[in-house]
Amino acid sequence: MKIGCGLRHFKGRALSIMMGVDLRKLVKPKRIRIEDLSGKKVAIDAYNALYQFLATIRGEAGEYLMDRAGRVTSHLSGLFYRTVNLLEMGIKPVYVFDGMPPSLKAKELERRRVAKLEAMKKYEEAVRAGRLEEAKKYAQRTSMLKDYMVEDAKRLLDLMGVPWIQAPSEGEATAAHLVSKGYVWVSASQDYDSLLFGAPRLVRNLTISGRRKLPNRPVYVEVLPELVELDEVLKDLGITREQLIDVGILLGTDFNPGGFKGIGPVKALKYVKEYGSLERIPEIRELLDLIDYQRIREIFLNPKVAEPKELVWREPDEEGIVEFLCGERDFSEGRVRKALSRLKKAPREASLDQFF
């Protein structure tokens, strides 16, 4: 079947979804246009992006897009067309894939797995009852990323001539490292963890920008990219990066989910500014002994990262892309070729060879 035609429901083993520390109330991002990143190299948190595509690119009742063999293709659709858009605008993406997560993340991964299973039950109940709008809402909480889907994504990027990096652990940590060392200009992720990992610049909404429907409402809004600069955040809050990590631990990270009960963003910042560090906050002294906060700090301050030899953007293998997406995964050849033709027609200063 072609993408966008008859769709099938997918059941599989749930893996992790994206979450991270919630700094929304403390950070003041700058709204930018996606075109403002033209000419820039961008490290994209691959798992973060793929989960977004899996959550948003679905059928009327929330089912995944799939090929005739039952393989999920929602993530490939999002990855292909969004990457084409970025390249067309002169943006050079490099995707960073997660490796083995720190053992402290096990509790959070299990929490997410259980939440996915609960959402799947509610999704199936809503489908049986014919409540499609409700079903789609629950379906977006059930996104699963299996090994073959990750390998398909890497294969597609190779065919597109777009570099990708396999991180030894957290993808966001390696993406932040790439920015810090000047390999790329900015890290792209929905999560604020990039700031705790030391990314000088973070752009959010890069892979989901555009016109989006609000949940449970017949209203559409324009989602724009947001740029967050670490130095400005620290200056505005009046703290150091080490103290920002402590704020994150108080609020809850992937390594201590839930944080400290009764402590929100405002109180967390107040405590850290008043006492200087977690150890000096009297209100949490006993609770602090229950978590390995020193190790959490170490994960953010000295994470395991990949050191790329070089980043090269090559000319895409157009026929290879058509064979993979259309011949093997049942995409519409007309749509795929139309998207590829946009790269050739896109305005640039020099030839396609120099662009890549």
**Band (142; pLDDT cuts 50, 70, 90):** confident
pLDDT at 223 over 50: yes
pLDDT at 326 over 80: yes
Q: What is the pLDDT of residue 126?
A: 76
Q: What is the pLDDT of residue 10?
A: 31
Q: What is the rounded average pLDDT of the residues 261-288?
A: 95
Structure tokens at 36: 């403002």
pLDDT at 57 over 70: yes
| Tally of CB atoms within 10 A around 299 | 25
Structure tokens at 143: 């996104």
Supply the DSSP string of 64-99, one letter for each residue: BPB-TTS-B-HHHHHHHHHHHHHHHTT-EEEEEE--
pLDDT at 352 over 50: no
Count of positions (residues) in the chain: 356
pLDDT at 9 over 60: no
Q: Which pTM value belongs to this model?
A: 0.85
Q: What is the pLDDT of residue 132?
A: 75
Q: What is the rounded average pLDDT of the residues 131-149?
A: 79
Q: What is the rounded average pLDDT of the residues 108-131?
A: 77
Q: Which of 230, 171, 232 is nearest to 195 (CA)?
A: 230
**Band (353; pLDDT cuts 50, 70, 90):** very low
Q: What is the pLDDT of residue 90?
A: 93
pLDDT at 259 over 80: yes
Q: What is the rounded average pLDDT of the residues 281-295?
A: 93
Q: What is the rounded average pLDDT of the residues 335-355?
A: 65
Q: Which of 14, 95, 7, 26 is nearest to 269 (CA)?
A: 26
Given this chain, do its domains 1-236 and 238-303 carry the same CATH topology? no
pLDDT at 168 over 70: yes
Fold of 238-303: DNA polymerase; domain 1 (1.10.150)
Is domain 1-236 in CATH 3.30.70.270, yes or no? Answer: no
**Band (210; pLDDT cuts 50, 70, 90):** low
Structure tokens at 274: 């008043």
Any idea which of 17-21, 23-27, 141-145 has the lowest mean pLDDT? 17-21
pLDDT at 208 over 80: no
- Which of residues 206 and 351 earns the better pLDDT score? 206
Q: What is the rounded average pLDDT of the residues 166-194?
A: 96
Residues 6+ apart with CB under 8 A from 92: 40, 41, 42, 86, 311, 313
pLDDT at 356 over 70: no
CA distances to 103, 109, 202 from 231, rounded to whole Å, are 30, 31, 11
d(C-alpha 161, C-alpha 147), whole Å = 21
pLDDT at 167 over 80: yes
For helices 293-301 and 241-251, angle between their N-to-C axes, nearest 10 degrees: 130
Q: What is the pLDDT of residue 19?
A: 61
Supply the DSSP string of 204-221, one letter for each residue: ESTTT-EEEEPTTSS-EE
Domain boundaries, the chain: 1-236, 238-303
